[in-house]
Amino acid sequence: MKPVPFKESNLNLGAGDNPNTDDMPVAISKDGEEIPFIVSCWKPTPEELAEINRTGEIWLATMGHRPPPIMAVGHNPFKHHGFKALELL
């Protein structure tokens, strides 16, 4: 999967020197309860989409010893969860 730009993105996290990583557009945001979130949007390759359709599964891996709080959804959280992108200085 590749990170893709989206309307609400307000920051681009650079890949740095890692040739296997792409820049990642994100939105520094808060949900309807003012809880902070960093939101990114990902698009599967045609092969990945075929596998998702075949298995109904999406796997998520995080680095570290304890998983951070995360949310994976199949819809735009800015439209369905009351998220608001923050204005960055």
Tell me: the pLDDT tens digits for 17-34?
878 778 899 999 998 889
Q: What is the CA radius of gyration of the chain?
A: 14
Residue range 25-51: mean pLDDT, rounded: 93
Q: Answer whether 27's CB lies under 8 Å from 6's CB.
A: yes
Which sequence spans correspond to the domains of the chain?
2-85
SS3 content of the chain, % helix, strand, coil (to 5): 15, 25, 60
pTM of the model: 0.81
In 10-64, which residue ranges form alpha helices assigned H by DSSP?
46-55
| Matching residue, tokens 């204005």 | 87
